[in-house]
Amino acid sequence: MRSYAGRNVYITGGSSGIGLAAARQFSAAGANVAIFSRSQQKLDAALPTIEAAKGSAGQKFLAVQLDVGNHVDVEQKMDAAVRSFGVPDVLVNCAGVAWCHYLEQTPYEEFERMMMTDFFGVRNTVAALVPFMKERGGHIVNVASILGVVGVFGYSAYCPSKFAVVGFSEVLRGELKRYNIRVSVLCPPDTDTPQLVEENRTKPPETRAISGNAGLMQPEQVAAAMIKGMERGKLMIVPGFMNWLTWTMKRLWPGFVFSFMDSDARKAQKRAAGK
Ligand SMILES: NC(=O)c1ccc[n+]([C@@H]2O[C@H](COP(=O)([O-])OP(=O)(O)OC[C@H]3O[C@@H](n4cnc5c(N)ncnc54)[C@H](OP(=O)(O)O)[C@@H]3O)[C@@H](O)[C@H]2O)c1
């Protein structure tokens, strides 16, 4: 990995899972790392582990409690962070929540929660920080999901928020070029984090059957693939071979991917009906 010595890296959702793994890897590469999330307790537990991974003396670390879905909170806290910590060179929008269930079991509030956190959360930090970042350029990584490019059974609330992140990132790619700000969008498959544990509580059998094909990654692998993809200047970073294959097949032969998923769903429905 390239040295990030003296670079300021901001990571929303940096207190857990993929965001925390990325924070540790940027710390090991010499960056000053600031993390942002809602639970002070999680921030307090995460920050010493990020600091312990540091690659050299003199690095700075910061943990800020905020809700990415609240644009006023984001504007105020990001403004204060820029003044005390410095302008970010890298912004990783990793804060996110998930919900997986049948449409009929997905209340309105879950649609709203997914959109507010997973899409508006990305919009809010980008809108708050681009005015500062445009002075010297940088890199923004928005964390979507493979479910931001493939609509999968059970994710009627989550997928649209992640499709929105992909669309938003494609727009930013063009718009922010003039400020020398690069944009990437990370599309991980199932990753072994607290979020996956949470969504597994309500995951229908059809979704389990479909997602079982894409494999499970560790957050450290996803974070390493993200940083490698950034260094290669990639817009779409799609870690994991089966995950990449799914994305490629969806672009080239969407009908094939849909019939494959439908077949898995039918088999799961037969099993559940005892046939
Ligand atoms: N795990 C997977 O299978 C998977 C697959 C594809 C994509 N992703 C995406 O990867 C990203 C990271 O997920 P993860 O799996 O690493 O989950 P995780 O371990 O649960 O971490 C989520 C992080 O986001 C923070 N967060 C959640 N809501 C927030 C809010 N409103 N404001 C500020 N921070 C908030 C959490 O802290 P607090 O709760 O304290 O706020 C936590 O730090 C998410 O965008 C997720 O959708 C995950």
pLDDT in tens, 59-69: 999 999 999 99
Nearest CA to ligand 1 atom 33: 37
Asked if residue 260 belongs to a domain, the reply is no
Give the per-residue pLDDT at 215: 82
Residues in the chain: 275
For the whole prediction, is pTM greater than 0.75?
Answer: yes
CB 35 less than 6 A from any atom of ligand 1: no
How confident is the model at residue 3, as a pLDDT? 79
Residue 274 lies in a domain: no
Q: Going along the chain, which residue ranges are E strands?
A: 8-12, 32-37, 61-65, 90-93, 138-143, 181-186, 236-237
> Is 38 within the bounds of a domain?
yes
Q: Could you tell me if residue 229 is inside a domain?
A: yes
Nearest of 77, 157, 87 to residue 118 by alpha carbon: 157
Q: Is 199's C-beta closer than 6 angstroms to any atom of ligand 1?
A: no
CA of 95 to the centre of ligand 1 (A): 4
Q: How far is the CA of 233 from the centre of ligand 1 (A)?
A: 24
CA of 39, closest atom in ligand 1: 40
State the virtual CA torsion across 258, 263, 269, 270 in degrees, nearest 10. 170
For ligand 1, pick from 10, 12, 16, 25 the residue to mutate: most ligand atoms within 8 Å of CB. Answer: 16
DSSP state of 101: B
Domain total of the chain: 1
Residue with the smallest CA separation from ligand 1 atom 29 is 95
Q: Residue 140: is its pLDDT beyond 90?
A: yes
pLDDT per position as a tens digit, 8-57: 999 999 999 999 999 999 999 999 999 999 999 999 999 999 999 999 99
Give nearest CA residue, ligand 1 atom 41: 38
Ligand 1 neighbourhood includes 68 CB (under 6 angstroms): yes
CA dist 266 → 103, 201, 202, 263, 273 (Å)? 17, 21, 19, 5, 10
Task: Using the predicted structure, report yes or no on whether residue 212 has a pLDDT greater than 80.
Answer: no
The minimum-distance atom of ligand 1 relative to the CA of 147 is 6
Flag whether 3 is in a domain.
no
**What tokens does 133 get?**
């970042």
Which helix (H) or strand (E) is 184 found in, with range? strand 181-186
Question: Token pair of 97, please?
Answer: 């929540």
Please tell me if the CB atom of residue 240 comes closer than 6 angstroms to any atom of ligand 1: no
Please indicate, yes or no, if residue 271 is contained in any of the structural domains.
no
DSSP assignment letter at 8: E
The token pair that represents 235 in the structure block? 């817009």
How many Å is the Cα radius of gyration of the chain?
Answer: 19
- Three-state secondary structure of 217-246: ECHHHHHHHHHHHHHCCCCEECCCHHHHHH
CATH number assigned to the domain comprising residue 191: 3.40.50.720
Distance 202 CA to ligand 1 centre (A): 17
Encoded tokens for 69: 């879905």
Ligand 1 within 6 A of 77 CB? no
The DSSP element (H or E) to which 181 belongs, if any, is: strand 181-186
Terminal CA-CA length for the chain:
52
Question: Is 128 part of a structural domain of the chain?
Answer: yes
Percent of the chain with pLDDT over 70: 100
The angle at the Cα of 60, spanning 56 to 62, to the nearest 5 degrees, equals 140
Instruction: Inform me whether the pLDDT recorded for 250 exceeds 80.
Output: yes
- Residue 104 belongs to a domain: yes
Contact (Cβ atoms closer than 8 angstroms) between residue 20 and residue 103 = no
Of 18, 36, 208, which is best to mutate to test ligand 1, by the most ligand atoms within 8 angstroms of its C-beta? 18
Question: Based on the number of CB atoms within 10 Å of its own CB, is 237 exposed (0-12), middle (13-18) or buried (19 or more)?
Answer: buried
User: Would you state the pLDDT for residue 128?
Assistant: 98
Domain hosting residue 12, numbered range: 8-200+214-240
Q: Is 63 left (phi over 0), alpha (psi -120 to 50) or beta?
A: beta
Query: Measured from the CB, is residue 186 less than 6 Å from ligand 1?
Result: no
Q: Is the pLDDT of residue 213 over 90?
A: no
- The reported pLDDT for the residue numbered 274 is 86
Residue nearest to atom 36 of ligand 1 (CA): 13
